[in-house]
Every structure is written in structure tokens, then in C-alpha cells.
Amino acid sequence: MSQKPKIKDLLNESACAHNKTKKVACNAPTPGATTGGCAFEGAQISLFPYADAAHLVHGPMTCIGSSWETRATQTDWPGRDLTQMGFTTDINLNDVVFSGEEKLRDAIDYIMANYAPQAVFVYSTCVTAMIGDDLDLICKQAAEKHGVPMVPVHAPGFVGSKNLGSRLGGEAALRHLIGTREPETTTPFDINLIGEYNVTGDMWQYAHLLDELGIRVLATLSGNGRIADIRCAHRAKLNVIVCAKSLISLTRKMQEQYGILSISLSFYGKRDTSNGLLAIATALGDADLLKRTKQLIVREEALLDEKLKPYRRVFAGKKAVLNTGGNKTWSIAAALQDLGIEVVATAVKKATEDDREKARQVLGEDGVLMMNPGAEQARLIDERGAHLLLAGGRSLYTAIKKGIAFADVNQEKKKSYGGYSGLLNLAEDLKNSLENPVFKLVARRAPWQK
């Protein structure tokens, strides 16, 4: 039987709350009016942070040539960080005509001989899926030959979006890694972090707190991850999904197969971080752990409030408009409020029903949920007297025109905004932005235009 996951099944994810409201064709992009990434990219994002594994892209040059070394997923893996390397079979016309299987086989052998990774992920892409190269067979044979897991990842770009690709990545891990090894020891407080990729070290903003509470991160998918750990992930007591709806099908299946409960939360901003820690302690169901968690939260919040004091003066009376998508529509809004900034509007055009509801809760009655932010944001800045626009790069011009500060929240960020300490980073960045004269100066008219 084919090892390929059934795309239909993945699209009909019953555990995904927004599924019922989405059209069946939610994976069919509109020709000429689409901007998102492909399934391959999504799969790569969800598996890439395993720095001890090689990520071999079986396809032509666009897929990896333009996308390696782009994400700052950090790791403390002491060996060479294979995430920051690009491996591709770079197939050519000859391979397209006569199959690229032999090349793929040789490429895996080459990687094993030269880099000795703990596993190899082999990604199919549009062209190699079309020509029908048999990844499953090649991976099976290579795994036997080399004695480490070889994981075929069937997420060629044409099957759908980045989001679907992340699910397919999770699926591949479930089929080929999870449950293939037993941990040396277990504790009652073993959890898996799912969907946290440790971009800019986000995970490290709160991992030490879990540690202090005696909560052990058994495995991650896949931030700062290790192949050996994810193979043991089936022994965790709890799956913690961090800000990633796309991996809900994975955790549902892990619940079915291994009885692992799962909760979904975010570590963004003060309130979310506190709520997240509480949720984990509650789910693990230990009274003492819960008590200790509450104490730790009180301590950490007090510490943070102390450090935020100088910023509060800067942010007092400041208003912001937020134009982003997905869970950022409310999570960044909440973080801004934690800093004492009033959020007068947030864009919900690209958000799910769930996210819209949350945004409504966070912003309260007065806040505007923008359905058409491109047109609305400029007007709202005027009407509400906003001082700050947080959006993607395309909105920079709106800010310049209005002469207000701008912060890019969509670009690949360089600093972590996660956890309690991440909020300090955000505060610092926003303060710098508010105090920067450039936004007023750059729109200045030339002497010959006056």
C-alpha cells in the first residue's frame, strides 16, 4: 500500500475548529491572485529545525536554491547545524526524462558518507512527484542500508498551501519517526512542544521556566529538536501545540494512537505566557505543580513589570493600528496592551472565525476589526489619532504619509518576541520606532516641489 498520506483526509481535519466554515476548496488557490507558499515550503518549515538531520530536496533549483538559510531557527545541537545547509539533487532534463531515482539514491549515500546525520528527510517537489520517482522505496532501502531513519516527505508544491504542507510534514514524522524508539526514562511531567520552531530562539524565552517547574520537554516538533527525541515522543503525557493550527491533525492522531492529550496555546506577551504556563500545569493535573506554577507566574510578572516601567512612560497614551493575519491579529494586540499601548484596530481579513472572536475579546467593544485593512487603516489612523502602525512592508507608505511610526510585523524577524523576556524586546523595538524621526522626515517635500 502506498505510504503517501491521503490529502483529502488531511484537509478534512475534524479537530480543526475552523474547518467547518472553510470551503471545501480551501486548498485551491486562485490563479493570478495568490501569494502564499507551497506545501513543500510548509513541510520544510515544520521539519527543518531538526539540526541533526539532513534535509534533502529532490527537485530542481527553485525549491531550495531560493529558500535555504532563510529562517533563523536556532539550535544548541553541538554538531554542524544541518538546518543552515542546503541539500538538493538539482535534477536536470536527463533526470526528468529518465527518472531521478538513481541520483537520489547516490545523493543519500553521499550525505551519509560526508555528514553522518541522525536521519535524512527526503522532500518530493512538483517535478519529481510528477515524474513519479519512488521516494518510499528509495528511503526504505536507504534506511536499511545506513541504519538511520529516512523519512520521505510527500508534499510537492502543487498539492496545496504552506499550511497543508506543515500537516504533511507532521504526518511524515508520525509515520516514520514517532514511536520508533523508547526513552531512557520518563517523568509524570513529560510534554512535547508541537509547532514551536524556535525561530530567533523563541522557545528559549520560556523553556527555562518549564525546566524550573520540573516540566520536561521530551520532544519537539521541531524547534531545537533532536531526531532521537522525536522518536520517543509517544511517551509524553501531554502535547502542547504552540501557535500552530496546522499540526492539530498530528496531535489528534497521537491522541488516538497513544492516548496523549493535547492543548493549544501561545507564549506571546505577558498574559498569554502566564495563561500558557497555567494551562500546561492544569493539564498535567498535579496540585503541587499548579501551586508552584502560580507562584512562578506572580514572580515573573512582577519582575517583568519592574523592567517595563521605563517603557510605560513612553507608551502612555499611545495608540496603535495593527494590520496582520492569522493568530497575530490578536496575539500581537494582546502583547501591545500588555505594554500599555491602546490597540484601536486590528485586521481580521486573513483570520479564521476563531481568531476573529479572540480579536474581538482582546480589543473590546471600541476596537475596530478591519475587514478591508488596505482601505481602512489610513482613515482609522486619522480618526483615532494613532501613533503607530504595525503591519507588513506594503503598509509602510501609509505610515509615512501619516507621519507616524511603523513596525514591520511580517518580515522575518531577527529578535524573539516570545515569553516574558521577549516582550521586553518588543518594547525596545517599538520605543525605538516611536522615537525615530525618520518617519516624519522621509516624507518631506523637496525644495522644488513645495
Binding-site member from 11, 51, 54, 63 for ligand SF4 (CB under 6 A): 63
Binding-site member from 49, 157, 160, 195 for ligand SF4 (CB under 6 A): 157
Q: How far is the CB of 158 from other proteins (least distance, A)?
A: 4
Binding-site member from 15, 17, 26, 131 for other proteins (CB under 8 A): 131
Footprint of other proteins on 143-182 (CB under 8 A)? 156-162
Residue-wise DSSP of 24-47: GGGG-PPTTS--PPBHHHHHHHHH
The mark string for 396-415 relative to other proteins (x by CB under 8 A, - otherwise) is xxx-------------x---
Spell out the alpha helix ranges (H) of 132-268.
Answer: 135-146, 162-176, 207-213, 227-230, 248-258
Of all residues in this chain, which one has the CB nearest to ligand SF4 in the complex? 157
Spatial separation of the C-alpha atoms in residues 50 and 120, rounded to whole Å: 10
Spatial separation of the C-alpha atoms in residues 448 and 450, rounded to whole Å: 6
419 is a contact residue toward ligand SF4 (CB under 6 A): no
Q: Cα 216 vs. chain centroid, distance in angstroms?
A: 21
Structure letter (DSSP) for residue 22: S
Q: How far is the CB of 35 from ligand SF4 (least distance, A)?
A: 13
165 is a contact residue toward ligand SF4 (CB under 6 A): no
Q: What is the CB neighbour count within 10 angstroms for residue 106?
A: 11
Q: How far is the CB of 90 from ligand SF4 (least distance, A)?
A: 12
Helix 248-258, helix 162-176: angle, nearest 10:
20
Spatial separation of the C-alpha atoms in residues 13 and 267, rounded to whole Å: 24
Beta bridge partners of 305: none
Binding-site member from 17, 26, 85, 296 for other proteins (CB under 8 A): 85
96 is a contact residue toward other proteins (CB under 8 A): yes
Spatial separation of the C-alpha atoms in residues 337 and 215, rounded to whole Å: 29
Residue-wise DSSP of 167-199: HHHHHHHHHHTTTSS--S---TTEEEEES---B
Q: How far is the CB of 91 from ligand SF4 (least distance, A)?
A: 11
Q: Which three cell numbers stand for residue 333?
A: 494586540
86 is a contact residue toward other proteins (CB under 8 A): yes
DSSP helix/strand/coil, 372: coil
38 is a contact residue toward other proteins (CB under 8 A): yes
Spatial separation of the C-alpha atoms in residues 207 and 203, rounded to whole Å: 6
Q: Of 59 and 422, which has the nearer Cβ to ligand SF4? A: 59
87 is a contact residue toward other proteins (CB under 8 A): yes
Q: Of 89 and 251, which has the nearer Cβ to other proteins? A: 89
The mark string for 123-142 relative to ligand SF4 (x by CB under 6 A, - otherwise) is --xx----------------
Binding site for ligand SF4 (CB under 6 A): 38, 40, 59, 62-63, 125-126, 156-157
Query: What residues line the site for other proteins (CB under 8 A)?
Result: 7, 27-41, 56, 59-70, 84-93, 95-96, 103-104, 106-107, 110-111, 114, 126-127, 130-131, 156-162, 393-398, 412, 442
